[in-house]
């Protein structure tokens, strides 16, 4: 949780983690000299107003409130160093001019509002918000900018257009979907504020998108036995950018440094696929062919079904990738950002901040739709999933289909409500 507290000297940002322990913040500061809070605010060790000191274990940090110096009072303004927002421009905020809260600086999907403004300015030019300075952005105009920032629906369609261009090289039926999105673009909302958005058309485009994805995955599951694992990776990963639109880039064959397997020697390891979200954070994804026996061992061990070799091996592989990524730290961030700058949005830096993994493999349904696992097997599989949920999201292909069905059902319900007049046009 982020809270801003004003004092005579300026403003401090107080932070307590929503995670089980606060210790990760001090670990980042200790290891890298800086930490990014709530995906928006970056602080250095010197910004800490109270040093938590070394504690016995992670749990000892649970009640600790991190206090960072966010802004210094300069006359009628609060001055925030640009590095807090990962920009070169100092930021001047009129005292009392803009409400200090997270959403005043980050739009949907953790997009930096000040970062977008800084891209239009010289690096040494301050960003001034509110107050009487002639170069200031009036506080009401800044608040209007926050309201008009692209919403999730608009960003979904942008991501869909990018993905369609990439996946079209591998999946022939996508051509029709791409043409459908292009038709939608011709009738999308104008930037003029007095023109209402046709919400039903937007909703139908979203429904059609997810139906197309579901039907394509279903067809591949029925007829994809001869396809290679690489084919499955290309298809599934690009669809995941639509299902999980927080991700904006896919990286292939990612080389990372392993300094632990052979002491005194750096070994190159290669992650098949990685995803980068809109805030620059990197995650790992493992996509396996949908073998029927990839989830649980055939025979129980003391009345318990343990992970099959495919699942256990995939989990171990993903955990080692996450371990080596986390240990690589700041040097890894710089190396990956430089190596993949052409695949990232301009100015984006890759962040290694508690990366997670996603794994898609196996099936828990038969081709006729009946359950492939007995009740005790399904329970043990769910326990296995939850055991690793803090680091790895284990998903079967049938889990993926169920998520798509639920999304489609929810969108159809909202569309029916709109058609019945329960929604306000243009909102």
pLDDT the model gives residue 183: 54
Are 117 and 194 in the same domain?
no
Are 9 and 99 in the same domain?
yes
255: exposed, middle or buried (Cβ count in 10 Å: 0-12, 13-18, 19+): exposed
Sign of CA dihedral 306, 307, 312, 318: negative
pLDDT the model gives residue 192: 41
Domains of the chain: total: 2
How far apart, in Å, are the Cα atoms of 339 and each of 256, 283, 289, 344? 11, 16, 29, 10
Are 134 and 184 in the same domain?
no
pLDDT digits (tens, 9 = 90+) for 41-53: 999 999 999 887 7
Q: Which of 148, 174, 208 is the last residue of a domain?
A: 148
92: exposed, middle or buried (Cβ count in 10 Å: 0-12, 13-18, 19+): buried
pLDDT the model gives residue 209: 87
Q: Is residue 298 left, alpha or beta, with left meaning phi > 0 and alpha meaning psi from -120 to 50?
A: alpha
Residues 6 or more apart whose Cβ sits within 8 Å of residue 121: 89, 127
Q: For 276, phi and psi rounded to 5 degrees?
A: -120, 125
Half-sphere exposure of 39 (CA within 13 A, CB side): 20
Are 265 and 335 in the same domain?
yes
Q: Which of 125, 148, 171 is the last residue of a domain?
A: 148
Distance CA 404, CA 221 (A): 15
pLDDT the model gives residue 351: 94
54: exposed, middle or buried (Cβ count in 10 Å: 0-12, 13-18, 19+): exposed
For residue 425, tell me if it sits in a domain.
no
For residue 250, tell me if it sits in a domain.
yes
pTM, whole model, 2 decimals? 0.52
Are 144 and 223 in the same domain?
no
For residue 418, tell me if it sits in a domain.
no
H/E/C letters for each residue in 51-72?
CCCCCCCHHHHCCCCEEEEEEE
pLDDT the model gives residue 20: 61
For residue 329, tell me if it sits in a domain.
yes
Distance CA 321, CA 392 (A): 11
* Contact predicate 150/109, CB 8 Å: no
* Contact predicate 158/226, CB 8 Å: no
Distance CA 354, CA 358 (A): 13
Are 84 and 172 in the same domain?
no
Q: For 244, phi and psi rounded to 5 degrees?
A: -120, 80
pLDDT the model gives residue 160: 55
How far apart, in Å, are the Cα atoms of 242 and each of 163, 206, 207, 249, 305? 8, 10, 12, 11, 34
pLDDT digits (tens, 9 = 90+) for 211-243: 988 988 898 888 766 778 888 888 887 787 888
Q: Which of 94, 119, 148 is the last residue of a domain?
A: 148
pLDDT the model gives residue 153: 58
Are 162 and 31 in the same domain?
no
Cα 427 → chain centroid: 25
For residue 18, what is the DSSP state? Answer: S
Task: Give the domain range for residue 373.
Answer: 152-411
For residue 104, tell me if it sits in a domain.
yes
Are 199 and 295 in the same domain?
yes
Are 144 and 156 in the same domain?
no
For residue 420, tell me if it sits in a domain.
no
For residue 167, tell me if it sits in a domain.
yes
Are 160 and 93 in the same domain?
no
Are 191 and 277 in the same domain?
yes
Sign of CA dihedral 199, 205, 209, 210: positive
Per-residue pLDDT of the chain (427 residues; tens, 9 = 90+): 889 999 889 999 999 876 667 778 888 888 899 999 888 899 999 999 988 776 545 556 667 888 999 999 999 999 999 999 999 999 999 988 888 999 889 887 778 888 888 888 888 899 999 998 988 999 988 888 888 776 665 565 555 555 554 444 444 444 444 455 455 455 544 444 444 446 777 788 888 888 988 988 898 888 766 778 888 888 887 787 888 888 888 898 899 999 998 888 999 999 988 999 999 999 999 988 887 777 888 888 888 998 888 899 999 999 999 999 999 999 999 999 999 998 888 889 999 999 999 999 988 888 888 888 889 999 999 999 999 888 999 999 999 999 899 999 998 988 888 776 544 333 3
Nearest alpha-carbon partner for 13 in 83, 67, 81: 67
Rg (CA), the chain: 24
For residue 424, tell me if it sits in a domain.
no
Distance CA 227, CA 231 (A): 6
Are 227 and 375 in the same domain?
yes
């Amino acid at each position: 949780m982020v809270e801003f507290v004003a004092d005579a000297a300026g403003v401090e940002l107080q932070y307590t983690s929503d995670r089980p322990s606060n210790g990760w913040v001090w670990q980042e500061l200790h290891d890298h000299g800086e930490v990014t809070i709530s995906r928006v605010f970056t602080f250095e060790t010197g910004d800490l107003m109270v040093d938590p000191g070394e504690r016995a274990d992670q749990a000892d940090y649970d009640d600790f409130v991190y206090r960072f110096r966010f802004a210094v009072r300069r006359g009628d303004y609060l001055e925030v160093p640009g590095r807090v927002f990962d920009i070169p421009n100092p930021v001047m905020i009129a005292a009392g001019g803009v409400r200090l809260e997270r959403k005043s600086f980050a739009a949907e999907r953790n997009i930096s509002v000040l970062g977008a403004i800084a891209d239009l300015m010289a690096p040494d030019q301050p960003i001034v918000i509110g107050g009487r300075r002639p170069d200031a952005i009036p506080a009401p105009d800044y608040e209007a900018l926050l309201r008009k920032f692209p919403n999730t629906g608009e960003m979904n369609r942008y991501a869909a257009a990018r993905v369609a261009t990439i996946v079209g090289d591998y999946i022939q039926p996508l051509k029709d979907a791409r043409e459908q999105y292009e038709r939608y673009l011709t009738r999308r909302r104008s930037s003029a504020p007095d023109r209402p958005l046709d919400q039903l058309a937007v909703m139908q485009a979203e429904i059609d998108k997810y139906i197309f994805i579901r039907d394509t995955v279903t067809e591949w599951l029925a007829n994809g036995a001869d396809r290679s694992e690489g084919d499955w990776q290309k298809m599934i990963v690009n669809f995941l950018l639509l299902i999980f639109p927080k991700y904006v880039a896919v990286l292939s064959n990612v080389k990372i440094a392993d300094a632990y397997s052979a002491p005194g020697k750096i070994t190159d390891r290669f992650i098949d696929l990685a995803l980068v979200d809109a805030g620059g954070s990197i995650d790992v994804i493992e996509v396996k062919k949908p073998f029927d026996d990839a989830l649980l061992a055939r025979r129980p061990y003391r009345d318990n079904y343990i992970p099959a070799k495919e699942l256990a091996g995939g989990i171990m592989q993903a955990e080692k990738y996450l371990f080596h990524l986390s240990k690589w730290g700041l040097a890894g961030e710089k190396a990956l950002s430089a190596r993949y700058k052409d695949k990232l949005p301009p100015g984006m830096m890759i962040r290694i901040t508690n990366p997670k993994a996603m794994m898609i493999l196996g099936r828990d349904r038969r081709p006729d739709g009946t359950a492939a696992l007995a009740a005790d097997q399904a329970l043990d599989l769910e326990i296995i999933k939850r055991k690793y949920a803090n680091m790895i999201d284990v998903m079967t292909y049938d889990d993926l289909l169920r998520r798509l069905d639920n999304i489609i059902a929810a969108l159809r319900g909202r569309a029916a409500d709109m058609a019945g007049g329960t929604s306000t046009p243009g909102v």
